[in-house]
Each structure stands twice: as structure tokens, then as C-alpha cells.
Amino acid sequence: MRGQGRNRTLARQRREVDGAPRGRTHPRYLQRRGCAAPRCISTRSGSPSGFLFGKKLDDAKAKPTEITWGDRQLEWIALDACDVLARDGVFDRWGWPVFNGLHMILGFDTTTGDEPDRGRLLAQYLNAGWTVREAWIRACQDTEDSDTQWAYLRADAQGTDTYHDHWWGKGAVSSDPLNPTTLFYARAAC
């Protein structure tokens, strides 16, 4: 979906993050701006083969085969883009190589609308103490109809419990699944 509304929303989000006072990249500052960054990203458009960024360096598409996330720096990522977690082939596309300490990818199994409040709602639920997956599901339910399906893919390893992850300072956060032994996928109607 390459709607003008999404482009305006991203431009506004970029201004809010880029316009932060020097040194003001703390999660609480960004959350007050409606962003769940730095642990979450919003994108323009997506498909089962990846998602698009606004800057074209090559084909501007971040493909699962080009991505390794985690490395103790990223726990969760929300891809607010159509079909990035479409069920057919999800493990082949986003499987083991992508998870290098990453706990969870949040996204959609279907097309999704251009909803500027989803990031704000996600941050609101995370700050209220909801688990990461519950906050994503609720933010999706609040902004989409039942024709849209939220989805998530998460990794676990011995001694980890990413299912119960909370936002930092709002509850338990699992240790990083550096060498995941299990991937879990869930999806349902909003």
C-alpha cells in the first residue's frame, strides 16, 4: 500500500524523532511522541518478500534474507506494513537467520490500513504494563476491522520466555534467545 496518507504519517513521525532535542532519544521521549522506538519501526509498504523504506539505495526493500536482528540491541520490531508476516512460507522467509537475539517480530498476515494512531496505541499499552504481544494485538484490534489479521513471530531458546515479554521497566523481559531452538507463529482476526 503506497497511499499518500502513509507517506504523510511517516514524514510526521520522522520530524518528531529527528526533531528531538539533542541527546533526546530515550524511549520515554519517543513514546511521548507516539513512537515505540527504538524497539519498533513503522514502514510504508510491505509484502511477504519484505518491506520498504523511504530511501532507495538499491531496490529499497528490506528482504528477510538481508536481515539479522538482535545482537543484544533489539528485542522487538513492529512492521506496520501489509503482509510481512503472511503465513504461507513465513518460517522460510523470516526463520532462523533473522533471529540473532531478537525476541519477536510483530506485523500483519494480511493487508492493513494506513492507521496513524497504531504506534501511539502500541506505546500506550506497553507503558500500561501489557505484554508486548498483547499490546500489539490490542493496538491492531483498535485500529483495524475483522478482515485484517495481526500476526507475530517469536523465538525462544532454553532459559528464555519471550511469550511474557514486557516493555522495559514495565515487567519481565526475557533474556535474548541468541541461539533459538523454537520459533512460534500466531495470527488472528483483528
Binned average pLDDT, 10 residues per bin, the chain of 190 residues: 36 35 37 41 57 56 63 80 87 82 91 86 94 96 95 95 94 91 95
User: Is residue 38 reached through a cis peptide bond, with omega within 30 degrees of 0 on the bond before it?
Assistant: yes
Query: What is the C-alpha to C-alpha distance for residues 83 and 166, in angstroms, rounded to an integer?
Result: 25
170 vs 172: CA distance, rounded Å: 7
According to DSSP, residue 66 is labeled G
> Taking the domains of the chain in order of start, what are their residue ranges?
4-47+56-189
Q: Where would I find the H helices in the chain? A: 4-18, 27-32, 90-94, 118-127, 132-143
pLDDT by residue (tens digit) across 116-134? 889 889 999 999 999 999 9
With cell 510504508, the residue in question is: 44
Q: Is the dihedral of CA 55, 27, 141, 156 positive or negative?
A: positive
Q: For 92-114, how does the pLDDT look when each residue is reduced to its tens digit (9 = 90+)? A: 888 787 888 889 999 999 988 88
User: pTM of the prediction?
Assistant: 0.71
